[in-house]
Homo-oligomer: A and B are copies of this chain.
Amino acid sequence: MAFMIAQRAFIKVYLITMVEKHRGYGYQMLEDLRRDFRSHGYSPPQSEIYRALHELVQQGILYRTKQLKGNDPKVDFQEIVLYHFTPDGAEKAKLYKKQVKTDLDRCLGMLNKAVYDNF
């Protein structure tokens, strides 16, 4: 077992949750995470979000579709990549999240213990 939870896993559960909420594409999720964790002094690097998304596709949890950002193609030709659950993706995601939850709890236990033991 590793020491702490990996950044990758941490990000992945957030991405899964975002897909559950039908929210968006990579760049958007990146900005959301940065906003939500700014007060914690954490700014996930852009590469990690894309890597995490790619891995979730590899794991057969998500699949991709492409779409033009603006409703009107004449206005905005920017192409974005949307993510959705595969047929059995939701179930796989549930399982993955469960594993990460276990690890999150483990890490919380260790950090709380460290505070208790040393401070």
Q: In this assembly, does A34 line the interface, its C-beta being within 8 Å of a C-beta of chain B?
A: no
A22: interface (CB < 8 Å): no
Contact assessment for B104 and A1 in the assembled complex, using a CB-CB cutoff below 8 Å: no
Q: A97-B119, A108-B108, A119-B97 are in contact. Are A114 and B3 (CB under 8 A)?
A: no
CA distance A10 to B112 in the complex (A): 12
Interface size on A, residues (CB 8 A): 34
A73 interface residue, CB < 8 Å from B?
no
- Is A7 close to B, CB under 8 A? yes
Query: Which of B1, B5, B13, B42 is in CB contact (< 8 Å) with A1?
Result: B42
A114/B10 in contact, CB under 8 A: yes
Query: Bound state CA distance, A80 and B18, in angstroms?
Result: 54
Q: Is A27 an interface residue (CB 8 A)?
A: no
Chain B positions within 8 Å of A3 at CB level: 7, 10, 42, 44
Check: A54 CB closer than 8 A to any chain B CB: no
Kindly state whether residue A71 has any CB partner on chain B within 8 Å.
Answer: no
A40 CB contact (under 8 Å) in B17, B37, B113: B113
Asked whether, in the complex, the Cβ of B104 is within 8 Å of the Cβ of A114, the reply is yes
Kindly provide the distance from the CB of A94 to the nearest chain B CB, expressed in whole angstroms: 11
